[in-house]
Amino acid sequence: MHISSDRIFKTILALAGISIPALLIAFIVTLLIDSVPAFLRIGSAFFTETTWDPVAQQFGVRAFVVGTILTSCIALVLSIPFSLSIALFLGEYYRTGVWSTLLKSAIELLAGIPSVIYGMWALFVLVPMVRSVQLQLGVPPYGIGIMTASLVLTVMIIPYSASISSDVIAMVPADLKEAALSLGATRYEMLRSVVLPYALSGISAGTLLSLGRALGETMAVTMVIGNANRMPDSIFSPANTMASIIANEFAEATDPVHLASLIKVGLLLMIITMLINAAGTYVIRKKTLNQ
């Protein structure tokens, strides 16, 4: 019996639609079950305490949440001017041509580089740069810390937000732009008053998705953040993120409560990342439906 390729494709999509939510639920349930010892032993203090000391059986995740939020938000703020500039260049000024092709290829290349390579680059390039700035400012010249991790995250998330934002900017109807220009608006005024407001929701969605990428980054951040299990007191302080503490201690965790606490950190990180990605996806879909 002959089965068309279209039918096979639809069957695969249907199976994927069923299996992906089931797989997601399985992840959450597994993490919940494995983190039960931490829930029973530590309780709500896990989210409020800042001390993380496996020897003393003290596990507080608040310092790692702060480290994760600081590195991700600083990276997001630093990346917005660059990603928006790239998006305007590709979506409005040079949609085709040699320069557009080169820049798109560079963005795809940056998005495909393994995070460990970013970490090595940060160790050899960013750490000395940050250390020299710290010497000028009179702060301890660690080189590693939240600021260094934020800088490497900035480079890593620019391709994601720039790619989505450029696609959204390219979708702005030409008649709206022509109407603004026909009324005497300059190119800059047209971009400011027509293109950016129209594409704002899509740009916001790309920003949210890049934030989710920054929150979950592990290897590059682990290599340059300093891995200090304490609450950071400045943006130059060594610290830890939720992802980096798991990478550092999971392989050596033998105590059941310690292991369950790390799994609980992973569950919290997964929930936060899922919420941010869901918000970004919702904004993109809503914008698409309104087109």
Residue of 66 and 44 predicted with greater confidence: 66
| Each residue's pLDDT tens digit, 169-178 | 888 888 888 8
pLDDT of 189 strictly over 80? yes
User: Mean pLDDT over residues 207-226, rounded?
Assistant: 87
Q: Given the structure tokens 């971009």, which residue do they identify?
A: 191
pLDDT of 148 strictly over 90? yes
Per the prediction, the chain carries an average pLDDT of 83
Residue of 223 and 175 predicted with greater confidence: 223
Spell out the domains of the chain, with CATH numbers in brackets. 35-290 (1.10.3720.10)
User: Mean pLDDT over residues 191-209, rounded?
Assistant: 83
User: Quick one: pLDDT band at residue 2, thresholds 50, 70, 90?
Assistant: very low
**Rounded Cα distance, 162 and 96, in Å:** 16
Residues 6+ apart with CB under 8 A from 58: 49, 51, 52
User: Mean pLDDT over residues 274-282, rounded?
Assistant: 78
User: Quick one: pLDDT band at residue 17, thresholds 50, 70, 90?
Assistant: low
pLDDT at 149: 94
Q: How many CB atoms lie within 10 A of CB 201?
A: 15
Q: Given the structure tokens 């596990």, which residue do they identify?
A: 59
